[in-house]
């Protein structure tokens, strides 16, 4: 039986560990904190098919299949059926990329359809696209279900080094060491520093996302939102609903470097901009936030959806951003690599997966 270690129990590590376990591997997951408390923290994420890179659309289709399979495995909803709404000309550009990709149902929608998909939105009559296979990811349910399934293999320790040991790989933690056939490094913001020889070109920045209460009780339907239209005074807006549709989390995709002077103030400014957007664009929300999530963004040089897997003998390390939706397919690919098979070519750093078309 292959002996696989996974460093990190965020959504990516858990997905990889679950896939490796399903394929019969003996899996150890190292995680010193609560599973899902790193970049995967918070109550919702957007699942969308639209990406600049058509390869990533195909991966999203595959991931959606696995999300649905996980819902059957665990007997719980992990993806809402509310759809993913995008506003602005950029949404139409992405619709052209989606056209013809099997498994995607997305179309331009009129103002009435926009209002039905997202009844908390102010009147909007600009370009809009609805991806009916998109929706809000039930992040906490996903982390809980995977953690429960992997419970026996979870080790509450921090990994400090990963290095070769003959034909195997040695993992050192603060209190011990252990050898494995393959180590998958899925440590989010800490991945690059655990494999310094791989020189992964990741840029770390910080991000804030606010949670708002839906006024007047739960809505039957709350599509996720991406707004690049500028119609409500901001662009780069993204938002998703929590389970039960009584709360909606929203952020601006801008990030800030906390090591630079003024970084903390910029984070506060981003939160204020998000609040101001809600006050203008989303009259169905109470504009006083009920929660904040601060988180690291790990971006590769080729774009905000970029992802890559760096490999050395017995070690595969994954880095990228916006990975929640893609975690199921990514997890299967990582498990494949851990079990001695080739990694899908898309994930090699040279493939610049998730970047704009060449
Ligand atoms: C505010 C926000 C909104 C987002 N919105 C979306 C979205 O709408 N859709 C989407 O798809 N994605 C979205 N993302 C991105 C997505 O959430 C992340 O890409 C994803 O959660 C990353 O998961 P991960 O498992 O790689 O990392 P993490 O969740 O950070 O997991 C890494 C784990 O490794 C552990 N670890 C670190 N160092 C060590 C060590 N030395 N030893 C052992 N364990 C270690 C950490 O404790 C952590 O639990 C968003 C991110 C943020 C911050």
Q: Ligand 1, from 146, 322, 327: best to mutate by most atoms within 8 Å of Cβ?
A: 322
- Whether residue 80 contacts residue 136, with contact meaning beta carbons closer than 8 Å, is answered with yes
Judgement on whether residues 232 and 293 belong to the same structural domain of the protein: yes
Ligand 1 atom 53, closest CA? 295
* Sign of the four-CA dihedral 182, 187, 188, 194: negative
How remote is the CA of residue 305 from the centroid of ligand 1, in Å? 14
How remote is the CA of residue 317 from the centroid of ligand 1, in Å? 14
How remote is the CA of residue 30 from the centroid of ligand 1, in Å? 15
Judgement on whether residues 112 and 147 belong to the same structural domain of the protein: no
Judgement on whether residues 125 and 146 belong to the same structural domain of the protein: no
Buried b (16+ CB within 10 A) or exposed e, 268-293: eebbebbeebbbebbebbebebeeeb
Domain boundary among 281, 299, 317: 299
The answer to whether residue 195 sits within a structural domain is yes
Structurally, the chain folds into a number of domains equal to 2
Task: Find out whether the beta carbon of 295 lies less than 6 Å from any atom of ligand 1.
Answer: yes
Q: Give backbone dihedrals phi and psi of 244, rounded to 5 degrees, phi first.
A: 95, -10
Query: How far apart, in whole angstroms, are the C-alpha atoms of residue 318 and residue 192?
Result: 9
Order of strands, sheet of 128-131, starting from the edge strand that comes earlier in the sequence:
106-108, 128-131, 84-87, 224-227, 237-241, 247-252, 203-213, 291-299
How remote is the CA of residue 211 from the centroid of ligand 1, in Å? 18
Judgement on whether residues 148 and 291 belong to the same structural domain of the protein: no
Judgement on whether residues 275 and 210 belong to the same structural domain of the protein: yes
Ligand 1 atom 21, closest CA? 40
**Rounded average pLDDT over 202-226:** 96
Q: Which domain covers residue 176, as residue numbers?
A: 3-40+142-201+303-351
Task: Find out whether the beta carbon of 328 lies less than 6 Å from any atom of ligand 1.
Answer: no
pLDDT at position 277: 97
Query: Tens of pLDDT along 38-92?
Result: 999 999 999 999 999 999 999 999 999 999 999 999 999 999 999 999 999 999 9
How remote is the CA of residue 280 from the centroid of ligand 1, in Å? 30
Judgement on whether residues 9 and 148 belong to the same structural domain of the protein: yes
The answer to whether residue 110 sits within a structural domain is yes
Task: Give the position, in ligand 1's atom list, of the atom nearest the Cα of 209.
Answer: 1
How remote is the CA of residue 239 from the centroid of ligand 1, in Å? 17
Beta carbons within 8 Å of 336's beta carbon, 6+ residues apart: 19, 342, 343, 344
Judgement on whether residues 147 and 292 belong to the same structural domain of the protein: no
pLDDT at position 263: 82
- Whether residue 80 contacts residue 141, with contact meaning beta carbons closer than 8 Å, is answered with no
How remote is the CA of residue 318 from the centroid of ligand 1, in Å? 11
The answer to whether residue 238 sits within a structural domain is yes
Judgement on whether residues 155 and 290 belong to the same structural domain of the protein: no
The answer to whether residue 67 sits within a structural domain is no
Spacing of C-alpha 175 from chain mean position: 31
Judgement on whether residues 241 and 290 belong to the same structural domain of the protein: yes
pLDDT at position 259: 85
pLDDT at position 254: 84
Task: Find out whether the beta carbon of 132 lies less than 6 Å from any atom of ligand 1.
Answer: no
Query: Tens of pLDDT along 104-152?
Result: 999 999 999 999 999 999 999 999 999 999 999 999 999 999 999 999 9
The whole-chain average pLDDT of the chain stands at: 96
pLDDT > 70? residue 299: yes
The H-or-E segment that residue 73 falls in is helix 54-74
How remote is the CA of residue 147 from the centroid of ligand 1, in Å? 15
How far, CA to CA in Å, does 272 sit from each of 237, 251, 265, 276, 287? Answer: 13, 10, 11, 6, 10
Ligand 1 atom 15, closest CA? 322
pLDDT > 80? residue 236: yes
Task: Find out whether the beta carbon of 45 lies less than 6 Å from any atom of ligand 1.
Answer: yes
- Whether residue 307 contacts residue 323, with contact meaning beta carbons closer than 8 Å, is answered with yes
Task: Give the position, in ligand 1's atom list, of the atom nearest the Cα of 44.
Answer: 8
Ligand 1 atom 50, closest CA? 322
Query: How far apart, in whole angstroms, are the C-alpha atoms of residue 243 and residue 235?
Result: 26
pLDDT at position 260: 84
pLDDT band at 257 (very low <50, low <70, confident <90, very high): confident
Judgement on whether residues 290 and 343 belong to the same structural domain of the protein: no
Query: Tens of pLDDT along 14-45?
Result: 999 999 999 999 999 999 999 999 999 999 99
Q: Which residues does residue 113 pair with via DSSP β-bridges, in sequence order?
A: none
How remote is the CA of residue 11 from the centroid of ligand 1, in Å? 7
Assign residue 186 the CATH number of its domain: 3.50.50.60
Query: Which residue, among 353, 252, 357, 237, has the nearest Cα to 297 in the 3D structure?
Result: 252
**Rounded average pLDDT over 318-331:** 98
Assign residue 105 the CATH number of its domain: 3.30.9.10
Judgement on whether residues 239 and 294 belong to the same structural domain of the protein: yes
Task: Find out whether the beta carbon of 207 lies less than 6 Å from any atom of ligand 1.
Answer: yes
pLDDT > 80? residue 358: no
Task: Find out whether the beta carbon of 322 lies less than 6 Å from any atom of ligand 1.
Answer: yes
How remote is the CA of residue 33 from the centroid of ligand 1, in Å? 12
Ligand 1 atom 35, closest CA? 8
pLDDT at position 154: 98
pLDDT at position 250: 97
């Amino acid at each position: 039986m292959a002996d696989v270690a996974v460093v990190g129990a965020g959504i990516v590590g858990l997905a990889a560990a679950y896939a490796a376990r399903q394929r019969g591997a003996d899996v150890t997951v190292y995680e010193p904190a609560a599973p899902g408390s790193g970049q995967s923290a918070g109550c919702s994420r957007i699942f969308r098919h639209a990406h600049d890179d058509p390869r990533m659309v195909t991966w999203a289709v595959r991931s959606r299949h696995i999300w649905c399979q996980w819902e059957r495995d665990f007997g719980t909803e992990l993806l809402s059926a509310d759809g993913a709404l995008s506003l602005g000309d950029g949404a139409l550009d992405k619709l052209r990329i989606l056209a013809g990709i099997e498994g995607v149902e997305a179309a331009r929608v009129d103002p009435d359809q926009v209002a039905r998909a997202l009844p908390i939105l102010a009147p909007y009559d600009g370009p809009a696209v609805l991806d009916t296979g998109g929706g809000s990811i039930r992040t906490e349910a996903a982390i809980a279900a995977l953690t429960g399934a992997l419970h026996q293999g979870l080790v509450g320790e921090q990994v400090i080094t990963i290095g070769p040991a003959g034909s195997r790989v040695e993992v050192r933690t603060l209190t011990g060491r252990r050898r494995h056939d393959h180590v998958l490094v899925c440590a989010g913001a800490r991945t690059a520093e655990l494999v310094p020889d791989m020189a992964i070109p990741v840029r770390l920045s910080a991000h804030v996302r606010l949670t708002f209460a839906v006024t007047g009780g739960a809505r039957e339907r709350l599509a996720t939102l991406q707004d690049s239209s500028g119609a409500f005074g901001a662009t780069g807006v993204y938002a998703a609903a929590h389970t039960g549709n009584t709360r909606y989390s929203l952020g601006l995709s801008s990030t800030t470097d906390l090591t630079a002077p003024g970084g903390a103030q910029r984070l506060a400014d981003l939160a204020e901009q998000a609040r101001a957007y809600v006050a203008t664009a989303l009259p169905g929300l109470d504009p006083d936030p009920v929660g904040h999530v601060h988180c690291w963004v790990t971006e590769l040089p080729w774009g905000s959806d970029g992802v890559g897997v760096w490999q050395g003998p017995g070690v595969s390390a994954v880095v990228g951003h916006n990975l929640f939706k893609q975690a199921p397919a990514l997890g299967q690919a990582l498990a494949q690599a851990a079990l001695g098979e080739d990694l899908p070519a898309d994930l090699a750093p040279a493939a610049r997966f998730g970047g704009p078309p060449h």
